[in-house]
Structure 1
């Protein structure tokens, strides 16, 4: 990507993230939920955000379909567009992070390279959350009917069917959801998240 000339960033003159975190009484993080379509990422993210809100935390939820209906509406699902999709999301997440906001991002982000790109942009406060749900379970749910279409050849390059999903090997938070209720998985996620965002920790 070429870098535009005549650009003079003012990052060093802006109000610091630490100052904003003090006002919000929290530590900002980006919790990046990755997993197959239908694994439960969005369901867990919604419940996590609501529980954090009830506890007095200031959050922002970024979800794949929401982002693709607005900011990234011009992108498809080619390798190049997937990479650009994640790059933009990571940059937006970094903006929220620098505002002291706890950001919950849920995206399939199927390859190690694409998640590494997000981590490099966001930095040390990128927390990878692997929502580990077997393909068979995701297909049984098939809430959006996407697996059925993918199996029928109506959707090309569909992760888990005609495109690979590279599971994280060392996610900071690893949720095995197959034999757990949503309530149990949310509690496990919340218990892992709270120590990371507590301003006193």
Structure 2
């Protein structure tokens, strides 16, 4: 909790200077979708392409963050809100460092995604909806979570006994049932190039 003795200490090097040094515009790619939709897979593919092309990026994966920073949180609605609040703060730091940062979280509540967008800033927050039908997600079930949720072994599971607010107007709408991983990743890269976050002509 902040106190009256906590004062923000300004940095001498600005976000703009860090971004200019890296030859890119910083932003946060916020991947949202059901479990098994392909968020982490596509986010990793995008991260690989950015790295190959000489850009400076980092991926904050939901499961990985819950092993450390958010290891004390459960999957209740209240803890999901706190999970997103924390990652928004971390994401903002990465953006301030001039990076193109990706977050792969279910982030089921539209209100929380809106708060994240407000924290990062609308100009640098890019909502990426990984739109995959729940039937397809269940067929994939890479971690066996749907099976456990259907059996009642997991509570508060998004899409089963916890709601998911479908993004109303995502910046990027990716339909994984209609395209392969490479096509989905290239869709994200094309958006970044079109909006000037990366160069459309930068060589590998």
Could you report, residue by residue, the CA deviation over 1:120-165 in whole angstroms, capped at 9, with x for unpaired residues?
1111211100000000000000000000000001000100000011
1:63 to 61, 80, 101: 61
Q: Which structure 1 residue ranges, 5 or more long, are not aligned?
A: none
In structure 2, the partner of 1:129 is: 128
CA distance in 2, matches of 1:68, 1:178: 28
Kindly state the Cα deviation for residue 191 of structure 1 after the two structures are TM-superposed. Answer: 1.2
In structure 2, the partner of 1:104 is: 102
In structure 1, the partner of 2:114 is: 116
SS in structure 2 at match of 1:82: helix
| Mean CA deviation greater in 164-173 or 185-194 | 185-194
CA distance in 1, matches of 2:84, 2:117: 10
CA distance in 2, matches of 1:54, 1:200: 14
Aligned length, in residue pairs: 199
CA contact (8 A) 2:38 2:130 kept: yes
In structure 2, the partner of 1:36 is: 34
CA contact (8 A) 2:193 2:199 kept: no
Could you report, residue by residue, the CA deviation over 1:7-53 in whole angstroms, capped at 9, with x for unpaired residues?
11123x43210010111111000000000000000000111001011
CA distance in 2, matches of 1:183, 1:198: 18
CA distance in 1, matches of 2:73, 2:12: 32
TM-score under structure 1 length normalisation: 0.95
In structure 2, the partner of 1:169 is: 168
Q: Which structure 2 residue ranges, 5 or more long, are not aligned?
A: none
Could you report, residue by residue, the CA deviation over 1:88-135 in whole angstroms, capped at 9, with x for unpaired residues?
100000000001000011100001011112111111211100000000
CA contact (8 A) 1:27 1:199 kept: no
SS in structure 2 at match of 1:131: strand
Q: Does 2:86 match 1:88?
A: yes
TM-score under structure 2 length normalisation: 0.93
| C-alpha RMSD of matched pairs (Å) | 1.5
